[in-house]
Amino acid sequence: MDDLIQYRLAMAVEKLISAKILMDAGQNKDSVGRSYYAIFSAVRAVLARDEVDFSKHAGVIAYFQKNYIQTGIGRYRRTI
């Protein structure tokens, strides 16, 4: 499971780097898309830690909202 978590976090970082490059090039709409997928990959890493996965974005978002945002766990967030 740790390999999957690390893979998803690496994908998140890769997408975030791409988003920055696109933003610097003035490609703001494409940068937003890459940023979304960076966050989505990071959230999927959290779900992998919980041994949970969904085939649709809505499932990932709903699970994270219910189990992390609404529980207050997010208040201990940190800046990367």
Would you kindly state where each structural domain of the chain is located, as residue ranges?
2-76
pLDDT for position 71: 82
Burial of 47 (0-12, 13-18, 19+ CB in 10 A): buried
Q: Helices 28-49 and 2-24 meet at what angle, rounded to 10?
A: 170
The pTM (predicted TM-score) of the whole model is 0.84
* 3-state class (DSSP) for residue 5: helix
Burial of 14 (0-12, 13-18, 19+ CB in 10 A): middle
**pLDDT tens digits along 16-30:** 999 999 999 999 999
